[in-house]
Chains A and B, each alone.
Chain A
Amino acid sequence: QQQVKQSPQSLIVQKGGISIINCAYENTAFDYFPWYQQFPGKGPALLIAIRPDVSEKKEGRFTISFNKSAKQFSLHIMDSQPGDSATYFCAAVVNQGGKLIFGQGTELSVKP
């Protein structure tokens, strides 16, 4: 059972545009919602994370928007650059046990 659903599966954006990746979850017991970035041939790396009592978190060009009532959260990449081309995974974690549950992943391609 997929507890975190991610869309779209792939995304093509022009340089300078905004990339938006969406995730939805079912389990209201999740304590943190991190995003991981994965470049080809590498393991995923933590990008940014948010707690469910915060509606938005921004780090540079990356912003997480969180809608607790809708059980949805999204990653916005402003001024997208070719170097942002990677696979992005949303995830959710329950503090007790610390198990990380991933979404299906989104392959982002930023065209110059």
Chain B
Amino acid sequence: EAQVTQNPRYLITVTGKKLTVTCSQNMNHEYMSWYRQDPGLGLRQIYYSMNVEVTDKGDVPEGYKVSRKEKRNFPLILESPSPNQTSLYFCASRRSGNNYGYTFGSGTRLTVV
């Protein structure tokens, strides 16, 4: 089954404790992206990657890091999480040339206390 897999689904952590949210896709998509979803704000792009070793900032990159060492994986790293990063996070991918047909993961609910 073609899918984007995120782990974990739920995470509660404390301020300052480094964490990584993994994202993997099995569709050989070139483009991957991370979004955060907050009530009243919709989904906002954090980082994106157009291919292996090519990443760039989205609209809200502060406090986040990403890497793209393999085509299928695009982890999101929070080096020192803060409470304002409490949110619902989504990883998404699409193939090059299909600019609006994204496949989203099921989300990671992160709470930073």
Q: Which A positions have Cβ atoms within 8 angstroms of B?
A: 2, 4, 6, 9, 31-32, 34, 41-46, 49, 89, 91, 93-95, 98-105
Contact = CB atoms under 8 A, between A and B. Distances in A.
B10 to A, nearest CB: 11
Interface stretch (B39-47, B65-73, B74-82): B39-47
B104 A104 contact: no
Nearest to B43: A102
Contact of B100 (A2, A41, A43, A91): A91
30 contacts: A2-B42, A4-B42, A32-B100, A34-B100, A34-B101, A41-B107, A42-B106, A43-B4, A43-B90, A43-B104, A44-B90, A44-B104, A45-B104, A46-B100, A46-B101, A46-B102, A49-B100, A89-B42, A89-B43, A94-B99, A98-B99, A98-B100, A99-B45, A99-B58, A100-B33, A100-B45, A100-B100, A102-B44, A103-B42, A104-B42
Contact of A31 (B40, B99, B104): B99
Query: Chain B's interface: helix, strand, loop or mixed, by majority?
Result: strand
A34 B101 CA distance: 8
Interface of B: 4, 31, 33, 35, 40-45, 48, 58, 90, 92, 94, 99-102, 104-107
B57 to A, nearest CB: 11
Contacts of B4: 43
Contacts of B41: 104
A63 to B, nearest CB: 17
B31 A43 contact: no
A112 B94 CA distance: 36
Nearest to A34: B100
B40 A43 contact: no
A44 B107 CA distance: 9
Nearest to B40: A104
A98 B54 CA distance: 14
Contacts of B48: 99
